[in-house]
Amino acid sequence: MSKPFQAIRGMNDILPSESALWQGLEATVREVLAAYDYHEIRLPIVERTELFARSIGEVTDIVEKEMYTFADRNDESLSLRPEGTAGCVRACIEHGLLHHQTQRLWYAGPMFRYEKPQKGRYRQFHQVGVEAYGMAGPDIDAELICLTARLWRRLGIREVTLQLNSLGSSAARAAYRERLVAYFETRRTELDEDSQRRLHTNPLRILDTRNPAMRGVVAEAPVLLDHLDTESQIHFAELRALLDSAGITYEINPRLVRGLDYYCKTVFEWVTDTLGAQGTICAGGRYDGLIEQLSGPAVPGIGFAMGLERLVAMLVAAGYSGADPNPHAYLIMVGDAAQRQGLVLAEQLREQLPLRLRMNCGGGGFKAQFRRADYSGARFALILGEDEIKAGTVAIKPLRETQGEQVTLSQDQVAAHLRMALNSTPSVLERDARG
């Protein structure tokens, strides 16, 4: 026999035992986004390769070596999206969403990067991304950061730090880039192979090298924050004042440059020590020139994306089990007539209550079905046997302790009984219905 198939390396299944936690996380994210009046945009997973090259940057790791790129049937080069900002900007330009109006948008879904898989770093991973267009001032920067801080509070995530930096205008960055290249030239022999390669293509990225041997060279490099243009300096100071008044603490990290080329002015990352090497749970910044660069109107943009796998890992570490909720009731049916009536009864009950009702399928005698009911973790077994069918009743047997005695009721009383019984064990139905 041939070996069973396995998932592609770095691409994970999310199993039923985990999906409840994902759904809870996604629901909370959606609630927080709604509280700030952000609206969902759904974007394709595949875009033209050139869109990513022109926005993320030709000489970034993502575009140079991490994209899943393929030729379409007409030989056009397409790529699986490695991130969502480029597609979001493309869609907004294409549909005229940026003319004379501001936009507050979010999207969610899988992204693809051919990275070396490790804990917290996958080849297919999931992001929720948020983008805001048409607002140039630091107020929107502050709003986005407040939104993320609120989300962490709502999720009970505490061990995260906000790192903040400003990359300045593109002119200031170009001048700084020259200064940086000149500096690194004087220390060329100390640069590792990767940094030597980047020296003339993307020298800013040398600053966020993970190579400990380069710590000294990087520490002594000129600091971009000291060379900001006046407008960016004012923007940054105002943002800091807004965050201070909102009670949001942050660290200024002058080495934070981000791995995508489109950023200017504000950049930020939320990082944690609790996840090992892949500790950035959320990252983003301003990209005022990108929309125009992609042939759209001259409209500023800012956004961020968070990695859901990393957030789920934090929730698990904080003790959320993510256990799949058990059914409220399990319907046992013995005999053909019971089978037919049971199907109808189950449909009626689902109509009447926000009930998670599992119907026995696959036959079996009373004992076998009862064992399945118990194993399912249900609170009640609803029993339809020959006697019940004759009498037009249902037996309701509590399967867990403290759920009272077994009762036999007429079929039209079952919903009311279950509603009372489930709500008396603190509001199980209402809580479960909310998810």
Binding-site residues for L-histidine sit at 83-85, 113, 127, 131, 258, 262-263
| Cβ-based neighbour number of residue 283 at 10 Å | 19
Stretch that binds ligand HAM, among 126-134, 228-236, 320-328, 411-419 (CB under 6 A): 126-134
CB atoms within 10 A of CB 101: 10
Q: Please report, for residues 81, 85, 99, 274, 319, the alpha-carbon distance to residue 312 in angstroms, rounded to integers and kept in the order given.
A: 22, 22, 37, 12, 11
Question: How would DSSP label each residue in 36-54?
Answer: TT-EE----SEEEHHHHHH
- Evaluate whether 311 touches 152 at the Cβ level (below 8 Å): no
**Nearer to ligand HAM among residue 281 and residue 414 (C-beta):** 281
Binding residues among 65-84 for ligand HAM as defined by CB under 6 A: 83-84
Q: Note whether 269 and 252 are within 8 A (CB).
A: no
Residue that has been written with the tokens 């962490």 in this structure: 152
**What are the backbone dihedrals phi and psi of residue 100, each rounded to the nearest 5 degrees, phi first?**
50, 30
User: Could you tell me the smallest distance in angstroms from the CB atom of residue 344 to ligand HAM?
Assistant: 47
Q: How far is the CB of 124 from ligand HAM (least distance, A)?
A: 8
What's the closest the beta carbon of residue 9 comes to ligand HAM, in angstroms? 12
Q: Which of 57, 87, 129, 138 binds ligand HAM (CB under 6 A)?
A: 129
Structural tokens at position 317 = 């570490």
Which DSSP category does 66 fall into? I
Nearer of residues 229 and 309 to ligand HAM, judged by Cβ: 309
Q: What is the spatial distance between Cα 315 and Cα 120, in angstroms, rounded to a whole number?
A: 13
For ligand HAM, the closer CB: 290 or 334: 290
Q: Which of residues 293-322 bind ligand HAM (CB under 6 A)?
A: 303-307, 309-310
Among residues 291, 310, 315, 294, the alpha carbon closest in space to that of 302 is found at 291
Among 168, 203, 284, 296, binds ligand HAM (CB under 6 A): 284
User: In whole angstroms, how close is the CB of 377 to ligand HAM at the nearest point?
Assistant: 32
- Residue type for position 254: P
- Amino acid at position 409, single letter: L
Which of 127, 360 has the CB closer to ligand HAM? 127
Q: Are 374 and 354 in contact (CB under 8 A)?
A: no
Closest distance of CB 37 from ligand HAM, Å: 18
| Burial group, residue 254, by CB count within 10 angstroms (0-12, 13-18, 19+) | middle
Q: Is 268 in the site for ligand HAM (CB under 6 A)?
A: no
Q: Point out the annotated binding site.
A: 83-85, 113, 127, 131, 258, 262-263
Kind plus residue range of the DSSP H or E element containing 286:
strand 280-286
Instruction: Report the residue number whose CB is nearest to ligand HAM.
Output: 307
Does residue 127 belong to the site contacting ligand HAM (CB under 6 A)?
yes
- Taking CB under 6 A as the criterion, the residue among 67, 128, 180, 282 binding ligand HAM is 282
Contact flag: residue 141 with ligand HAM (CB under 6 A): no
280 binds ligand HAM (CB under 6 A): yes
Instruction: Choose one: 114-122, 329-337, 381-389, 400-408; the region binding ligand HAM (CB under 6 A).
Output: 114-122
In the complex, the residues that contact ligand HAM under the rule CB under 6 A are 83-85, 113, 115, 120-122, 125, 127, 129, 131, 259-260, 280-285, 303-307, 309-310
